[in-house]
Structure 1
Amino acid sequence: MLDKLKHHAKKGIDDAFDYEKQKWDKSHKVLDFKVGDLVLASTLNFNNIKGLKKPKDSYVGPFVIVALHGTNAVQVEFCGELEN
């Protein structure tokens, strides 16, 4: 009896995992960045922009990618007031 319950629980977990993986795979887009590409930077976590937060742009840029760090992280060259 206990083995049947364990098997049933494991099957449910495996089915849920497969379902969520299919959903993620369907909506996931692979990003292909290269050094020299132009990208926008989100200002969500920027604390050094002067003035009111509300009227600020959500993204600033474009900035040139100078280095790649993994598949989804890049180093960009900031200029002006964003340099700090």
Structure 2
Amino acid sequence: MIQTLEDMIRKFCPYGLEFKDSDAFTHDWCALIPELELSYKTSIHASTGKTPSILEKGWSPKLPVDTLKKDLVNIHPAASSFKLLLDKVSYHENKSMNDAF
């Protein structure tokens, strides 16, 4: 976890410990820790297949994106067809992997 947070801080705070850019955004790594912790704890990890929040507490916190009503979101038709294509590719990829073993 520490290495992952360190990598995240390096990606989101490239200017050192504290720096304000021309748009007045503060790149203070201490201010980023709560958001990075939430991001880490709500991400599914490859080794367990679950989020750290679920493993630690038995539940996962609701994120702002979870409150969106799915039927109110307008999805571009090209995005929908691309998702169908990706689903087919994923299906055939999994089938090929299972057939190989």
TM-score by length of 1: 0.28
Structure with a larger share of its residues in helix: 2
TM-score by length of 2: 0.25
Larger Rg: 1
Structure with a larger share of its residues in strand: 1
